[in-house]
Amino acid sequence: KEQNKRVIVQATATWCGPCRRLSLYLDGERKLSERDYIWVKMDYRWTGAYKIMEKMRGGAQGGIPWWAILDKDGKAMVTSTTEAGENIGFPSSSSDREHFRGMLEKTAIRLNDMEINELVEGLKQKD
């Protein structure tokens, strides 16, 4: 709250390849993404993490990484679950990247359209 940032909460596991790809991407884009977001990983091996993430998912189907962007009160503003009920995981397809763009557009505080585009384009390099 004090920093006026959103929180990206990511359900992850050490054995999950797409989770590692998402982590590498977010690490690489940290300078830009940290203007608006604080990133928190919830590894399913941690006590209570599975229960917390399942509650946050609200029954949404799909694997991991599953992630949400929370407001200052801890409520999910957007998630990696599409309107069709599918989890984008690591956004590798064009439709997944468009969902990711929408997540950023709905939650960005300081990031402008050009910076959001830079973040989305950065995903293509990770394909």
14-41, pLDDT tens digit by residue?
A: 999 999 999 999 889 988 889 999 999 9
Query: Binning pLDDT at 50, 70 and 90, where does residue 126 land?
Result: low
Q: What is the pLDDT of residue 125?
A: 67
pLDDT score of 100 more than 70? yes
Integer angstrom CA distances of residue 108 from 27, 43, 51: 18, 25, 28
pLDDT score of 2 more than 80? no
Q: Which of 11, 55, 56, 6 is nearest to 34 (CA)?
A: 6
Q: What average pLDDT score do residues 100-126 get?
A: 93
32-84, pLDDT tens digit by residue?
A: 889 999 999 988 888 888 788 888 888 777 889 999 999 999 999 999 999 99
pLDDT score of 7 more than 90? yes
Could you say which architecture CATH assigns to the domain 6-124?
3-Layer(aba) Sandwich (3.40)
Q: How far apart are the first and last CA of the chain?
A: 34
